[in-house]
Amino acid sequence: MPEFFLELFSEEIPARMQARAASDLFHRVTEALAPLAPTGGRSFFGPRRIAMVLEIAGAVAAAASSERGPRLTAPEQALSGFLRKHNAARDQLRQEGNFWILEKIIQAEPAAERIALWMPILLRQFPWPKSMRWGGTSTFTWVRPLRRVVCLVDGQVVPFDLRDGDDDGHGLVASNLTEGHRFHAPGSMPVASCADWQAKLRDRRVLADADERKRVIADALAQLAASHDMTVVDDPGLLDEVAGLVEWPVVLLGRIEEAFMDLPPEVMQVSMRVNQRYFALRSKNGSTAPLFAFVANIEATDGGAAIIAGNERVLRARFSDARYFWDLDRKVTLQSLVPRLDAVTFHAKLGSQGERVARLMNLAERLAPVIGADAALARRAAELCKADLLTGMVGEFPELQGVMGGYYAQHDNEDTSVADAIRDHYGPKGPSEAAPSAPVTIAVALADKLDQLVGFFAIGEKPTGSGDPYALRRAALGIFRIIRENELPVSLQNLIKVAAESSHWSSDKNFEQDVLDFLFERIFIQLRAEGIRPDVLSTVAASKVDDVIPRLLARVRAVASFLQPEDATGKVERGDLTILLTGIAAHGAIGSVTASTSLSAGSVLLSAYRRAANILRIEEKKDGPHDAAPNPTLFAEPEEVALALALDQAAATIDARLAAEDYAGAMSAMAQLRTPLDAFFEQVTVNAPEPELRRNRLRLLSRVRVTMDRVADFSKIEG
């Protein structure tokens, strides 16, 4: 199939926009060329270009179709409108029954013609987050001035331009010319294919593939650091950004002056990252290394000496600013900053940061005994946890909130657990960061997130669709992870209640249940993302018996184990239990899992449960619930007696196991119902002609349903 290749060459594109732009280009062009049956393909992006390649058919094949139009008796206006819609003439119509039929003939269309038709439209409508105009009077916009368009089909230029009436489109015309590195290889060059384009760019000091640029940078960083017995601080986001800033990456090392080495490592790293896109290094013992790494976009003739010297001068100025804030902030205590929080607005409807701190103090103090933390220390940490928002360092680098508070608390000789809580109470900030584990920190971190959730729900500011301006989804997930990873036996409903009471929100606002529902929604979304079956989660959730996370997860584990097939060795096969173990037990919330039931026990018992539930649903529509206890004197068959005895034994064991939070044991006890229940259905006619026997047997089945639903609502299981 012919190769379609497109490159859009411009001035420097912001790194944060490149990947999305390349993806948008690929999908929009692929959609527009759908009649050409595009296959395969890939996209490219870099500082000065986005590009793509596809395999397409040589032409859109000719086709014929028919379209039913208005009735023969329809007004003339209706027929004229139908013809205008399809750009057709009256002689293309024929009669069929009571309707006009339009015979449409689609002529074959060469690929180049379709591309030339669609490309100007696509480029003029391209969805950059921000676009600009430049020079002349053209209304055509691009993220930065667009300089060249390469458009080829099988090496031949597809001719089109960006004119639109009197608008000259900056005179941009498709060609086969592109440009290499701005400094190493200025000027244009012709290309004949995607492979030729990549090869010629490489010869002219441009790596077109973003992933290759990242690999080159990462490998060079690691090699240079290792040559000095150092390691690079892992920073995937910075690596992605730098790969979007350079076309021909050259990694260099600079030196940090000894006078700045006593700055906190986080200050040095953030200053280098935010201001200069430098990579921080660590010595073998984990301390801050006196070197930094950065990526240049040229191979300098002096080996980079002048570039290194210039970057060292810039960094010296940045660190001097950081030194100023570090010294200035430590002249006052965190305690002295707390009253000033009253003048800082948290939210118009939720008061100032000072008012929020008062809420956090009350909430952290009340949570502390439940978590096993010292209440006085938790209250003190909550009092100081937002004070660093008023420091010069956090004003310069908001990323350091909490971190700087921890350093300043140490300087003020606060208790170590207080300083640690101030530092870590925002955590976990992302999926790769561990949740807080120290008791005082847990108290303050939970208080911070609970106050955030309860407060915004109380004023009606709930997340909607993809909008979450107050990061409430992240707060909910943070609460879940803190409880999960620390195996805290706390009730979510009680936490929300305490948070609402500590915050003094009006009791007539019915938002606490909304907060609980929102938390469960985020928890189940997270568990589904880890691979747990949605119906397993629905089964546990529908039972509405537990809002204590470790117990909830144990129920999920037990149900997944119960439903999981085993191989001949008795080991669990592929699927949900394996995912459950790696997704849940790896977090430390749940220990090892052993499947206690076989495929036949789980699936057959579930089938029998459904049979019982279906019979009850049908019969209860006729004569109401059958929830009374069955009468043993009415048992006419031995299978009824056996099932009743099995239910007595199972119910007692299940209750004991549930009380001991042994959910796998409860499931195992429930599995013992399989044999007597199978026998019951094989030998006993439920809808007996005798009314008393029928009612009694339905009551026995109702007891089966109730007993099994003690663990989870198995009516939610699919398949």
Does the pLDDT value for residue 448 go beyond 50? yes
Say if residue 367 is in the same domain as residue 500. yes
Confidence bin at 374 (pLDDT 50/70/90): very high
Percent of the chain with pLDDT over 70: 93
pLDDT digit string, tens, across residues 314-369 = 999 999 999 999 999 999 999 999 999 999 999 999 999 999 999 999 999 999 99
Contact between 547 and 512 under an 8 Å Cβ cutoff? The reply is: no
Contact between 717 and 708 under an 8 Å Cβ cutoff? The reply is: no
Residue 603 included in any domain = yes
- The whole-angstrom separation of Cα 216 and Cα 229 is 20
Does the pLDDT value for residue 631 go beyond 60? yes
- The whole-angstrom separation of Cα 303 and Cα 337 is 49
Predicted confidence at residue 593, as pLDDT, reads 34
Say if residue 135 is in the same domain as residue 101. no
Say if residue 514 is in the same domain as residue 378. yes
The more confidently predicted of residues 206 and 97 is 206
CB atoms within 10 A of CB 349: 11
Q: Where are the beta strands (DSSP E) in 154-248?
A: 156-157, 174-175, 177-179, 188-190, 230-232
- The whole-angstrom separation of Cα 581 and Cα 703 is 33
Say if residue 164 is in the same domain as residue 76. no
Task: Give the side-chain half-sphere CA count within 13 A for 224.
Answer: 21
296 to 46, 219, 368, 585, 702: CA distances (angstroms):
15, 15, 51, 44, 74
Domain limit, last residue, from 299, 324, 349:
324
Confidence bin at 602 (pLDDT 50/70/90): low
Residue 544 included in any domain = no
Q: How many domains does the chain have?
A: 5
pLDDT digit string, tens, across residues 519-577 = 999 999 999 898 888 888 887 776 655 688 888 888 888 888 777 654 433 443 333 33
Say if residue 118 is in the same domain as residue 39. yes
Return the SS3 of 368: helix
Say if residue 232 is in the same domain as residue 277. yes
Say if residue 598 is in the same domain as residue 692. yes
Its pTM stands at: 0.78
Return the SS3 of 552: helix
Contact between 630 and 703 under an 8 Å Cβ cutoff? The reply is: yes
**Residue 674 belongs to domain spanning:** 552-716
End-to-end CA distance of the chain: 43
Residue at 480: amino acid letter = F
| Token pair for 517 | 């529902």
What's the distance, CA 609 to chain centroid?
37
Residue 538 included in any domain = no
- The whole-angstrom separation of Cα 89 and Cα 84 is 8
The per-residue DSSP string of 304-321 comes to THHHHHHHHHHHHHHHHH
**pLDDT (average), residues 14-35:** 96
CA-atom Rg of the chain in angstroms: 35
Q: What mean pLDDT value characterizes the chain?
A: 89
| Token pair for 161 | 């331009």
Residue 546 included in any domain = no
Name residue 51's beta-bridge partners. Answer: 7, 44
Name residue 282's beta-bridge partners. Answer: 231, 288
Residue 72 included in any domain = yes
CA angle at residue 558 from 552 to 560, to 5 degrees?
A: 105
Contact between 100 and 72 under an 8 Å Cβ cutoff? The reply is: yes
Using DSSP bridges, classify how beta strands 49-55 and 3-10 pair: parallel, antiparallel or unpaired.
antiparallel
CB atoms within 10 A of CB 438: 17
Predicted confidence at residue 604, as pLDDT, reads 66
Say if residue 702 is in the same domain as residue 578. yes
Residue 286 included in any domain = yes
The per-residue DSSP string of 258-286 comes to GGGTTS-HHHHHHHIIIII-PEEEEETTS
The more confidently predicted of residues 155 and 501 is 155
Highest-confidence segment of 398-402, 551-555, 592-596, 683-687: 398-402
Residue 606 included in any domain = yes
Confidence bin at 109 (pLDDT 50/70/90): confident
CB atoms within 10 A of CB 640: 22
Confidence bin at 65 (pLDDT 50/70/90): confident
Confidence bin at 505 (pLDDT 50/70/90): low
Predicted confidence at residue 594, as pLDDT, reads 36
Residue 545 included in any domain = no
Say if residue 40 is in the same domain as residue 95. no
Contact between 476 and 452 under an 8 Å Cβ cutoff? The reply is: no
Question: Does a cis peptide bond (omega within 30 degrees of 0) precede residue 339?
Answer: no
Contact between 392 and 436 under an 8 Å Cβ cutoff? The reply is: no
- The whole-angstrom separation of Cα 420 and Cα 640 is 63
pLDDT digit string, tens, across residues 178-228 = 999 999 999 999 999 999 999 999 999 999 999 999 999 999 999 999 999
- The whole-angstrom separation of Cα 717 and Cα 490 is 28
Predicted confidence at residue 228, as pLDDT, reads 95
Say if residue 190 is in the same domain as residue 232. no
Contact between 456 and 351 under an 8 Å Cβ cutoff? The reply is: no
Domain limit, last residue, from 324, 349, 375:
324
Predicted confidence at residue 719, as pLDDT, reads 58
Confidence bin at 18 (pLDDT 50/70/90): very high
The per-residue DSSP string of 565-628 comes to -B-TTS-B-SSHHHHHHHHTGGGTSS------S-HHHHHHHHHHHHHHHHHHHHHHHHH----S
Predicted confidence at residue 557, as pLDDT, reads 83
How many residues does the structure list for the chain? 719
Domain limit, last residue, from 203, 226, 254:
203
| Token pair for 301 | 């003739």
> What ranges in 204-259 are assigned the alpha helix state H?
210-227, 236-243
Confidence bin at 661 (pLDDT 50/70/90): confident
Predicted confidence at residue 384, as pLDDT, reads 98
Say if residue 100 is in the same domain as residue 234. no
Say if residue 595 is in the same domain as residue 524. no
